[in-house]
Amino acid sequence: MSVRPQPSPLVITLLLLLIAFALIFQPAVSAGEPQWVEVRSPNFSVITDAGEKRGREAAMRFEQMRAVFGTLMTQAKVNIPVPLQIVAFRNTKEMRQVAPIFRGKPTQVAGLFQGGTDRDFIMLDMSAENPWTVVFHEYAHQLMNGNLPDRTDPWFEEGFAEYFSSIEVDSKQARVGKVPDVDYRILQQVGTMRVSDLLKVEQYSETYNETGNNRTTFYVESGMLVHYIYDNQLLLKVAKYFDLKANKHLSVEDALQQAFGLSAPQFDKTLRDYIGVGRYRYFSIPAPAHLSPDSFSAHPVSNADASAVLADIHLHSPDYQEKAISEFQEILKTDPNNAAACRGLGYGFLQKKDFQHAAEYFKRASQGDSKDPRVHYYIALLMARESGFSSSMDVATLTQELESSISLDPNFADAYALLAFAQTSSGSLEKAIETMGKALAIDPRNEEYRFNLASIYLSNRQPNQAIKILQSLRNSSNGALAARATSALAIAEQFQRMQSDPSATLATRETTPAVPGDSVPSADAPPPPPKVAASGAKSVFARGTLTSVDCSKAPSAILTVSSGSKILKLTIADKDQMVLIGEDHFSCSWSKKKVAVNFRQGDAGENSVISLEIQ
């Protein structure tokens, strides 16, 4: 009988060490597969595959920049009007996944800001030497949008963003006011603009939009001018300049003279001297005392959830939208209950107006994560769009979804805006005014919100408040919105006259601009509220298809409109004396026309048309 020799104690010890070594150093994921982590600070979420330490660093930098903005603008509370997701990639190869496409290839970028109405994204290449400058410039614009009620001139908007982007931040402090050396070199090479010309540049001008030296000069010199203003503590004089120009309607030259005590040529020389000396002031702002990167929370992110974030970025990028749909579908093949992928795919179908599939995936997303405010908002938006924003809309359920969204994210401006529309539709106009005010408190520069608030005021028979808003919007740089505001202002002013003189009537189409027509809202934006009624009867707004026109009892006409599941019979008292939008003349032969109509619903059930838009 043979006996198997037993291993010696030394051999056993060595085997145990080898096993332990193998266990300790066994990779958690396969080679080349990134490990994702989410770092959450009080105001930011950073998802990164560059490691937890770099994620904490990125979050801290954004917290510091937010604090710097509050200091520069003396803001106790700093708003961000659109939710922001930061993604910090470990290297350039990863960053190329989201870079804009130029001539068929991804561009080389160290930092990228991508805006959206429902979500903004900032992407960073953490292997780059300085990925912050570009994204801090765009982040400054978002901060201004969320905290300054009125849009200023392009030179100040872009100049402040340039000033903000040049701030240097480390773990201990922010150094504010440094002028990059490259700015001096650019102005030496291409020269400067006259200050009066710089201040006259508008958003629609060639200088602001064209590529080349003029645009470069505009950006750099605007930044230099804002540096000069901060160095010399001239912000109060800047405020006076804007007041003189916007409210007193002085020319740029006269406003400069009165605000700064310098003629335009004198200001030219002063700025050239400031640039020529090459000296500037800067100061340090300590990192917020209550914040430390070590205090931020961090947790692993699955590859499926990380892929859903990247697909969401693609969904919001014109270069990758089609790719995003297939990416969400691939995620759901391996993880069918991934809530983020279901939400993103639903949103993609909503953009394509595929309401059936959008509803299916929003339902799955809600089942997977009932605490996602975006899902509740998207469900409400889907309901509104599917009904054509007509009277057939289930206002109660839509309102419930929006209230759930707002309870989960009290700073969701779009949810408030859509809720205001629902409240207007149900006749709760005072509530709608209050709710739209909350949306504007979060996103004070949103001109669509302001236009919609003016419309609600008109529906509530408050033309004075509406007129104040519309007077400012008629000067909007958005030409289409300015035209809508101008037309609405004319109607509001007539309504104001009718209140003081009951015998007054709405002017004919030949003498009065039409009530502005609203295009069907996109999936990214809440719809406008119903427009004003010119009497005390209930005002109703509907979209649908005009199927026939009966002109047998001229000058009146009866419209038959199919709106959702309803057939509406609408009466026009005088077809030649009505507010008509989209066509020059009324036609009794119209059929199969998409229309938007405002009408008064009387106690006896009659429906009297206020305005008709042919779309």
pLDDT by residue (tens digit) across 319-335? Answer: 898 899 999 999 999 99
Helix, strand or coil for residue 169?
strand
Residue whose structure tokens are 């001018």: 225
pLDDT over threshold 50, residue 359? yes
Structural contact between residues 574 and 598, judged by C-beta atoms closer than 8 angstroms:
no
Side-by-side strand order, sheet with 84-89 = 111-114, 120-125, 84-89, 45-48, 36-40, 297-301
Residue whose structure tokens are 């409109």: 561
pLDDT over threshold 60, residue 48? yes
pLDDT band at 105 (very low <50, low <70, confident <90, very high): confident
Helix, strand or coil for residue 152?
coil
pLDDT band at 280 (very low <50, low <70, confident <90, very high): confident
pLDDT over threshold 50, residue 49? yes
Distance CA 143, CA 135 (A): 12
Alpha helices in 476-576 (DSSP H): 479-500
Residue whose structure tokens are 């949008």: 145
Helix, strand or coil for residue 589?
coil
Rounded mean pLDDT, 366-370: 92
CA-based nearest residue to 528, from 476, 484, 576: 484
Phi, psi dihedral angles at 28 (to 5 degrees): -75, -30
pLDDT band at 3 (very low <50, low <70, confident <90, very high): very low
pLDDT over threshold 70, residue 232? yes
pLDDT over threshold 70, residue 188? yes
Strands 84-89 and 45-48 turn out to be parallel
What's residue 237's pLDDT? 93
Helix, strand or coil for residue 262?
coil
What's residue 300's pLDDT? 95
Integer CA distances (angstroms), 475 to 122, 138, 234, 478, in order: 31, 24, 27, 8
In the chain, domain spans:
34-151, 179-281, 538-614
Distance CA 434, CA 142 (A): 24
Distance CA 540, CA 464 (A): 22
What's residue 524's pLDDT? 39
34-151 CATH choice from 3.90.79.10, 3.40.50.2300, 3.40.190.10, 3.40.30.160: 3.40.30.160
pLDDT band at 76 (very low <50, low <70, confident <90, very high): low
Q: How do residues 477-493 score in pLDDT, each as one tens digit?
A: 777 788 888 888 888 88
Residue 52 burial (CB count, 10 A): 18
Q: What angle do CA 587, 591, 596 make, to 5 degrees?
A: 80
Residue whose structure tokens are 């400058």: 133
Tokens of 315: 């969904």
- What is the chain's mean pLDDT, rounded? 82
More confident residue, 38 or 487: 38
pLDDT over threshold 80, residue 512? no
CA-based nearest residue to 614, from 535, 534, 529, 509: 509
Q: What angle do CA 390, 615, 445 make, to 5 degrees?
A: 75
Residue-wise over 150-161: b if at least 16 C-beta within 10 A, else e? ebbbbbbbbbbb
Q: What angle do CA 409, 53, 134 make, to 5 degrees?
A: 70
More confident residue, 55 or 578: 55
pLDDT band at 51 (very low <50, low <70, confident <90, very high): very high
What's residue 194's pLDDT? 92
Q: Exposure of 493 by Cβ count < 10 A (0-12 exposed, 13-18 middle, 19+ buried)?
A: middle
Helix, strand or coil for residue 594?
strand
pLDDT over threshold 50, residue 163? yes
Q: How do residues 255-277 score in pLDDT, each as one tens digit?
A: 999 999 999 999 999 999 999 98
CA-based nearest residue to 313, from 131, 144, 118, 137: 118
pTM of whole model > 0.75? Answer: no
Query: What is the Cβ-side half-sphere exposure of residue 157, based on CA atoms within 13 angstroms?
Result: 18
CA-based nearest residue to 568, from 543, 603, 604, 588: 543
538-614 CATH fold: OB fold (Dihydrolipoamide Acetyltransferase, E2P) (2.40.50)
Distance CA 329, CA 322 (A): 12
Element (H, E) at 69: helix 52-72
Helix, strand or coil for residue 487?
helix
pLDDT band at 401 (very low <50, low <70, confident <90, very high): very high
Tokens of 562: 């199919």
Strands 566-572 and 557-563 turn out to be antiparallel
Question: Which residues, in sequence order, are CB contacts of 594 under 8 Å at separation 6+?
Answer: 543, 544, 545, 546, 614, 615
